[in-house]
A and B are shown apart, each in its own frame.
Chain A
């Protein structure tokens, strides 16, 4: 079985559809060579290597040998710079432009390591000089919330991440992927009602909704990120099972894939040029907070 990648793989419905399709086509293959042909591909959003890496890592667990071929020099440099290819037999090369946030695979117990990775890969980057301290903090917090969400709700072993700073657009995309329990499964079990993948995501992002039912409350993390990204004119995209949901500035849209992704992808796109001050909605009296 050979998989041919199309001309463009971007962080949009079409790009995710290609990756969901790949995931399904190789999910049942065991102990075989799997050639991935990139000869037609002219563009690959580097942050999406988190998704590709998650899919290929699962396939390697099935003892398959992944053969990446036909990669143009431009894409090879991109995928080497963010260390993606080094996980699949390629080389690491230095990122002189300082615009990549390296592809990494974390165990769910490696939360502290993930914090250090964000600190060195994102917060200390000199290539992003325009960010205010508050904006950096909010970006960091959003990413850490998503990582924790995957740990709590995904019931998975690993979490995959990668980011890319698009210098000319002043945008930072950061993608986190888990191959755990999907949002559709979690929400369907909780509400005891069979929801579509896209409706389950809509339910999960609404403030106050959580599938937690133990002693620890939830239902804030995703809605706070969405609120911040609206003010930031950023974007959030979520893929889980066969559902796709996106919020771009104030606009929401959703769609359905023809097949299902066996986990959850969250892509956060931050507007780095944002000079917003994020005033507090009201003065909080610390003595009466409880």
Chain B
């Protein structure tokens, strides 16, 4: 499988991956790569010092709207991410799966949570 490396630092021009706007740009680049057959997209976070959940939601979270876990495990990889940021990414991924899994269930759980207060 051919590997395409995306250097996040080069992509956003900053050591801080913060905004939804920058995340969206990265999402577009990942999505373009994933549309090609036999391509693995490597996200290289080298020189990135700070990442927010806002950025990761836009860049990676929204991939779960189109792709499932087995597909993304095979076709997407992160490199040079600190343990702390991996933990954040894990939370973003789990949240995105939940968000897209069943919106109707989500809406019901929101209503239930409100009823509990």
Identify which of A23-31, A94-102, A145-153, A255-263 touches chain B: A145-153
Which residue of the partner chain, among B18, B64, B99, contacts A148 with CB atoms under 8 Å? B18
The CA-CA distance from A123 to B65 in the complex, in Å, is 37
**A287 (CB) vs chain B CBs: closest residue:** B77
| Residues of chain B from 1 to 35 with CB closer than 8 A to chain A in the complex | 14, 16, 18-21, 23-24
Q: Give B2 Cβ to nearest chain A Cβ, in Å.
A: 19
Contacts of B83 in A (CB 8 A): 280, 283-284
Residue pair A202, B117 in contact (C-beta under 8 Å):
yes
Residue pair A203, B114 in contact (C-beta under 8 Å):
yes
Residue pair A152, B54 in contact (C-beta under 8 Å):
yes
With A203-B114, A217-B61 already in contact, the answer to whether A148 and B19 are too (CB < 8 A) is yes
With A145-B53, A220-B92 already in contact, the answer to whether A280 and B87 are too (CB < 8 A) is yes
Q: Give A127 Cβ to nearest chain B Cβ, in Å.
A: 22
Residue pair A145, B78 in contact (C-beta under 8 Å):
no
With A152-B54, A217-B61 already in contact, the answer to whether A112 and B84 are too (CB < 8 A) is no
With A145-B54, A152-B54, A224-B53 already in contact, the answer to whether A217 and B100 are too (CB < 8 A) is yes
The CA-CA distance from A283 to B91 in the complex, in Å, is 13
Contacts of B87 in A (CB 8 A): 280-282, 284
With A148-B18, A151-B19, A283-B83 already in contact, the answer to whether A290 and B62 are too (CB < 8 A) is no
Identify which of A33-41, A84-92, A208-216 touches chain B: A208-216
Flag A185-212 by CB within 8 Å of B: 1 or 0 each. Answer: 0000001010100010011001011000
Residues of B contacting A: mostly: helix
Contacts of B98 in A (CB 8 A): 208
Contacts of B95 in A (CB 8 A): 208, 217, 219-220
Contacts of B57 in A (CB 8 A): 216-218, 220
B: residues with CB less than 8 A from A are: 14, 16, 18-21, 23-24, 49-54, 57-58, 61-62, 64-65, 69, 72-73, 76-79, 81, 83-84, 86-93, 95-96, 98-100, 110-111, 113-114, 117
The CA-CA distance from A141 to B19 in the complex, in Å, is 11
The CA-CA distance from A266 to B91 in the complex, in Å, is 23
The CA-CA distance from A247 to B117 in the complex, in Å, is 17
Q: Give A196 Cβ to nearest chain B Cβ, in Å.
A: 10
Q: Give A212 Cβ to nearest chain B Cβ, in Å.
A: 8
Q: Give A175 Cβ to nearest chain B Cβ, in Å.
A: 19
Which residue of the partner chain, among A145, A216, A220, contacts B62 with CB atoms under 8 Å? A216
Flag A207-242 by CB within 8 Å of B: 1 or 0 each. Answer: 011000001111111001000000000000000000
Contacts of A218 in B (CB 8 A): 54, 57
Q: Give B89 Cβ to nearest chain A Cβ, in Å.
A: 6
The CA-CA distance from A134 to B84 in the complex, in Å, is 10
Contacts of B88 in A (CB 8 A): 224
